[in-house]
Amino acid sequence: MTDDTKHNGPHSGTVGGKTIIADGVVAMTAGLAAREVDGVADLGGSASRAFGAVKDRVSRSSDPTRGVKVEVGERQAAVDLDVVVDYGVRIADTATELRRHVARAVTETTGLEVVEVNIAVNEIRLPGSDDEDSDDGSQDRVR
């Protein structure tokens, strides 16, 4: 939540009030930004990605908050990411870029100060693997 309360005179042209930013807005912003970083293959652990793949197929949409947890205060936010990286990337460099990019996106979008971005690298995606399309082993029946 950001405090936009203004105590200006009646002729100042500004209107006071509070802006409340939901945790889901911060999580979605962080998740979308994280997926933009080179070397990040996906977010979430194996179980959450498997469940998410089924959910995505049923709802016909993907969940950008999968693998993202946030804590949002009045002026600050903290972000936790569960990450799958591509094989061959330098994990430390990818994590540094991920922190920078996510913090900037959340701050620019919400105005909240990001106090930390914690990253758990849970897996490495190997070349040629395509987890999104092969989770259930089925193929398209109609071409």
Query: Where along the chain do its domains lie?
Result: 17-127
How far is CA 75 from each of CA 33, 78, 111, rounded to the nearest angstrom? 20, 11, 8
CATH assignment of 17-127, among 3.30.70.120, 3.40.1010.10, 3.40.190.290, 3.30.70.1350: 3.30.70.1350
9-59 pLDDT per residue, tens? 555 678 999 999 999 999 999 999 999 999 999 999 755 444 445 444 544
- Residue 2 carries which side chain, given as an amino acid letter? T
Strand pairing partners for 119? 81
For 86, residues 6+ apart whose C-beta sits below 8 A from its C-beta are: 39, 40, 41, 124, 125, 127
Q: What is the pLDDT of residues 55-93, one digit of tens each?
A: 445 444 478 899 999 999 999 999 999 999 999 999 999
Please give the C-alpha separations between residue 82 and each of 66, 68, 85, 95, in angstroms, as whole numbers: 9, 7, 10, 11
The pTM of the full predicted model, rounded to 2 decimals, is 0.73
